[in-house]
Amino acid sequence: MRIDLRPATDNVSPQELEQAYLGGPIVMACDFYVGGAEKGATVPGGYRIGRIINVDHHAPTPRMSCFISSANLAIERVKELGLPQQDSILVINHTDCDSVLSCAILSGELSPTEDLGDAAVAADHTGIENPIADLLQGMQHRRNYEFSLRNIKLLLAGKQLESDAANDLNVRQKKREYALNNVAKFKFTDAVAFAEIEDAGDSEFYTSLLPKKVVVILLAIPIKSDPSKRIIKLRLSANAPKGLSLNALNVKEFDPNYGGRWNAGANKRGGGTSVPVEVYADEVATRLERAMSKLRQPKGDNSWKP
């Protein structure tokens, strides 16, 4: 089965992919959002639009606005429909844990087991220690799918990793230690935990390190070229109530530079902000309480009760 690694980008259209792969075979886009895919048909493992099947958890829909990853969707699809037809083309545009696992599961290189889905969720959402997630996240900077797949197979077989992979895993573990050392720097405004740190590192680590009362994590990273500004990163913690989305906070109303998905976002691409960290955190906390109050209102099975 053909596997292509395309340049990483946030904006990919169905037309762009269909033009790139003329000739009729199904194109399976793994772990990156194909714009408007949810306007097509809902299928096992994601959405289908034209010849594109988007096995990806980033679509702005209620179905994907939860702690689910693309590997979970790939497992769902293979268990229900089996492997794709052999002339299908699998496409990824980055090589983090979720991309490698979803592609490897759909290609039949890895079995659709729940431990792989758990690893993807650990990498994307909860940040808990997981040997599969930590190894794949550590290797992602290489953008080498074959290298990552080869070494995850060694790990699963209990065999020695290649030296470069072992070094990558060691770096990942040091990043986790760095995050643990930063926990003492956090302050709290209601259910918002905020801290100013020199390097955000892998922000998903903090979801498993901070107190359970925390719903939103705010990281402020100084911009070295402009000390008056900070890059703000927001992330929902694993303790966020069901149905809550960062979109409900309407952060863009007070920070036009902010952008992101339902559970994580930042203002880096817009150039950061000069708003003091404490003021930013207070505004997020106010909006968070408002959003959570709405969730507490009776809404049948989807309501949240503290």
Kindly tell me if the per-residue pLDDT of 227 is higher than 50.
yes
Q: Specify the pLDDT at position 298.
A: 66
pLDDT tens string 211-222: 999 999 999 999
Residue 305 lies in a domain: no
Q: Specify the pLDDT at position 301.
A: 47
Looking at the fold, whether 42 and 171 belong to one and the same domain comes out as yes
Looking at the fold, whether 36 and 168 belong to one and the same domain comes out as yes
| Rounded Cα gap, residues 217 and 193, in angstroms | 5
Domain-ending residue, one of 157, 176, 195 = 176
- Band of pLDDT at residue 180, cut at 50, 70 and 90: very high
Q: Which helix (H) or strand (E) holds 188?
A: strand 187-189
Residue 116 lies in a domain: yes
Q: How many CB atoms lie within 10 A of CB 12?
A: 22
Going by their DSSP bridges, the two strands 192-196 and 46-49 should be labelled as unpaired
Record the tokens describing residue 218, joined without a space: 């705010």
Cα radius of gyration rounded to whole Å, the chain: 20
| Rounded Cα gap, residues 1 and 76, in angstroms | 19
Longest dimension (CA), the chain: 56
Looking at the fold, whether 79 and 140 belong to one and the same domain comes out as yes
Nearest to 57 by CA among 39, 49, 48, 45: 45
- The whole-number average pLDDT for the span 187-211 is 90
Looking at the fold, whether 163 and 210 belong to one and the same domain comes out as no
Q: Specify the pLDDT at position 219.
A: 96
The domain that contains 286 carries what CATH number? 3.10.310
Residue 288 lies in a domain: yes
Looking at the fold, whether 228 and 282 belong to one and the same domain comes out as yes
Looking at the fold, whether 154 and 108 belong to one and the same domain comes out as yes
Residue 270 lies in a domain: yes
Looking at the fold, whether 268 and 158 belong to one and the same domain comes out as no
| Rounded Cα gap, residues 286 and 254, in angstroms | 12
pLDDT tens string 279-299: 999 999 999 999 999 988 765
Q: Specify the pLDDT at position 299.
A: 57
Looking at the fold, whether 124 and 206 belong to one and the same domain comes out as no
- Band of pLDDT at residue 23, cut at 50, 70 and 90: confident
Structural domain containing residue 105: 2-176
Hey, which bits of 14-152 come out as E strands?
27-30, 41-43, 46-49, 52-55, 89-92
Q: What is the DSSP letter of 157?
A: T
Tally of domains in the chain: 2
Domain-ending residue, one of 122, 142, 176 = 176
Q: Specify the pLDDT at position 296.
A: 82
Inter-residue contact 92 to 8 (CB < 8 Å): no
Q: What is the pTM of this model?
A: 0.88
Q: Specify the pLDDT at position 305.
A: 36
Domain-ending residue, one of 152, 176, 200 = 176
| Rounded Cα gap, residues 236 and 218, in angstroms | 9
Average pLDDT of every residue of the chain:
93
CA 145 → CA 65, 107, 148, 171, distances in Å?
A: 27, 13, 5, 19
Percent of the chain exceeding pLDDT 90 equals 83
Kindly tell me if the per-residue pLDDT of 13 is higher than 50.
yes
CA 124 → CA 70, 99, 205, 273, distances in Å?
A: 10, 11, 10, 26
Looking at the fold, whether 166 and 269 belong to one and the same domain comes out as no
Looking at the fold, whether 275 and 197 belong to one and the same domain comes out as yes
Q: Which residue has the higher pLDDT, 39 or 10?
A: 39
- The whole-number average pLDDT for the span 249-266 is 93
Looking at the fold, whether 164 and 200 belong to one and the same domain comes out as no
Q: Specify the pLDDT at position 24.
A: 75
Inter-residue contact 276 to 256 (CB < 8 Å): no
CA 139 → CA 149, 166, 179, distances in Å?
A: 10, 9, 19
Residue 304 lies in a domain: no
Residue 301 lies in a domain: no
Kindly tell me if the per-residue pLDDT of 302 is higher than 60.
no
| Rounded Cα gap, residues 194 and 174, in angstroms | 22
Residue 306 lies in a domain: no
| Rounded Cα gap, residues 58 and 209, in angstroms | 25
Q: How far, in whole angstroms, is CA 244 from its chain's centroid?
A: 16
Looking at the fold, whether 88 and 27 belong to one and the same domain comes out as yes
Residue 46 lies in a domain: yes
